Amino acid sequence: MTQALPSEAEQDQVMEISMGPQHPSTHGVFRMDIRLDGERVLRLKPVIGYLHRNHEKIAEAASYLAAIPYTDRLDYLCSMTNNWGYALAVEKLAGLTVPERAEYIRVIVSELTRLQNHASVVGFLLQDMGASGTPLMYAFREREKVMDLFESLSGARMMCNYMRFGGVRVDCSAEWLSQAAKVVAGFNGFLDEFERLLTGNEILMARTQGVGVLPRELAINAGVTGPGLRASGVNYDLRKVDSYGVYGRFEFRVPLGEHGDVYDRYMMRVLEMRESLRILEQALRDIPSGPFMDPKARLRGLRPKVGEAYARIESPKGELGFYLISDGSPNPYRYRVRPPSLINLTVLEDMCLGQSIADVVVILGSIDIVLGEVDR
Amino acid sequence: MLGEGIVKGLAETARNFLGSFIEKDRLVTVQYPEERLPVVEAARMFPFLIYDGVDQEEGLRCVACQICEKECPPQCIHIEKSKDKKPDFIGKQQFYPAVFDIDVSVCMSCQICVEVCPFDAIRMDNEFELSTDDRFAGLLWPKEKLAMPNEHYLAIHPTEATEVEARRAEEKAQAEAKKASQPAAVAK
């Protein structure tokens, strides 16, 4: 059967555009095939794979240790949480325990990661909306302070390669902890400033409220996690649900949205930063002294028993999971990443249908994707 | 009132702009390359090979065990073992690398080679201006270019290097004590 050709009038009105992969607001090399009626989106097809680096197969060919620096490059804004997710999976597989001090250090660096990720995401979102420069640069100014902390601790600003199976690579000094406490103390001031700058802004509200609504049921069914899910009003945070590490000991709340629109997703990030600061204050106060590595853990030649393990953590973007199968050899038989960015991206079309093309950019920015993690 | 949020936001921007004339910490941009920030001690960029003494052929600590070559995640290290042996710092006969190349363009500065090295022979340099216009030979560093004196290590990572020095001095003392006691045992 031959397909009916669109009528001439339809051909005049419907336009197909390919947005990306070089478009500045697609956050990397991401392409969207969009069918437009005027400015209204009729269909949107995400095209991914431009940054595919064979991450999973490389990790299967390399030793367990050699995969850690590769996990840095998944979500390159949050290398610390990626390290943690992978280390947790291997620790489950190999039955290693983590000393108390290392658990606290992990919480501290992960919450610092959350701060800098959310700060830059909100900055980028505003940049996408046309607030060129100012919010992003304010966010980057604060992010740089966290980066400096990471650099003095791990030696690198972004590719930290910091966590090891059974602990962390180097201990943090008392001086570093006091520096971290200073950054944490100063961050609330930045958030106040940021909120004065933006939260009540009428242009921001007009651009974001009621735009890109993600219904609660769809969010759950599509497996969306992270701030995007909580903006739709679902109380699901792995730090509370799983209480991995020592998260059970800290007092913090999980901010929830009501409408599931872009504005709620923006507010989730700002509120989560405030909660992260609370966790950080408690962790920096309570951090015990002691060893930072499991004495049983060896750096090289890790050969876990035959078996499988899945570990998941609440990365700034959502549920980050690592699935490993060991066949008793020095490298995993199967290594699989459950990236939050990719799965959160699946609802992009549902959020964009019927919206204008300018809103597509804003909705994409509010999902918070990093292509290193989407394509792997 | 409509527009109140915008006015508030602009007041914030103005405060930041005017504040930048008074408060130093609002001016965070560094005019690289004229201005440079000090490099932190933990900084890691590209590995180098340590040699003791003045002669880099003789003092090179590397014994070509090839652990780093095996563990290197992007596989950027190439080592060929020597046929003959030479004495190391405690007088034990060891192999040495006949060829030791690292590809600058492949290395991802992860420091795994440093962590796995049992001989304290490879460490991370903090030199970050590594660009070159020679994209073939200029990016493959041979051991002559990688070798750096121990003093360099002591200068860039003082805390870590003094610990390593102390440990090596102890090992050497133990080896010498053993050597001193052994002929006596034979004589008995």
The per-residue pLDDT string of chain A (376 residues; one tens digit each, 9 = 90 and over) reads 455 666 666 666 788 888 878 877 777 788 888 888 888 888 888 888 888 888 889 888 888 888 889 998 888 888 899 999 999 999 888 888 888 889 999 999 999 999 999 998 888 888 888 777 788 888 888 888 899 899 998 888 888 889 888 888 888 888 899 989 989 988 888 888 888 888 878 888 888 888 888 888 999 999 899 898 999 888 888 888 888 888 888 888 899 988 888 899 988 899 999 999 999 999 888 888 888 888 777 778 788 888 899 999 999 998 999 999 988 888 889 999 999 989 988 888 888 888 888 888 889 888 888 888 888 8
Among B13, B42, B73, the residue with its CB nearest the CB of A152 is: B42
Yes or no: say if B104 and B88 are a contact pair by the CB < 8 Å rule. no
Report the candidate in A9, A5, A15, A23 with the shortest Cα–Cα distance to residue A41.
Answer: A15
Q: What is the pLDDT of residues A99-132, one digit of tens each?
A: 888 999 999 999 999 999 999 888 888 888 877 7
> Residue A9: its pLDDT value, please?
62
Q: What is the pLDDT of residues A14-39, one digit of tens each?
A: 888 888 788 777 777 888 888 888 88
> Residue A113: its pLDDT value, please?
92
CA distance B124 to B47: 4
In this prediction the pTM is 0.86
Which residues of chain A have a Cβ shorter than 8 Å from any chain B Cβ? Answer: 62-63, 65-70, 72, 134, 138, 141, 144, 151-156, 159, 161, 169-170, 193, 196-205, 299-300
ipTM, two decimals, is 0.82
Among B12, B16, B71, the residue with its CB nearest the CB of A66 is: B71
Residues contacting B120, CB < 8 A, separation 6+: B50, B61, B164, B167, B168
Q: Do A66 and B108 touch (CB under 8 A)?
A: no
**What's phi and psi for A335, nearest 5 deg?**
-135, 125
Torsion of CA A222, A262, A81, A78, to 10 degrees: 130
Q: In angstroms, what separates the C-alpha of B115 from chain A's closest C-alpha?
A: 8
Yes or no: say if A2 and A319 are a contact pair by the CB < 8 Å rule. no
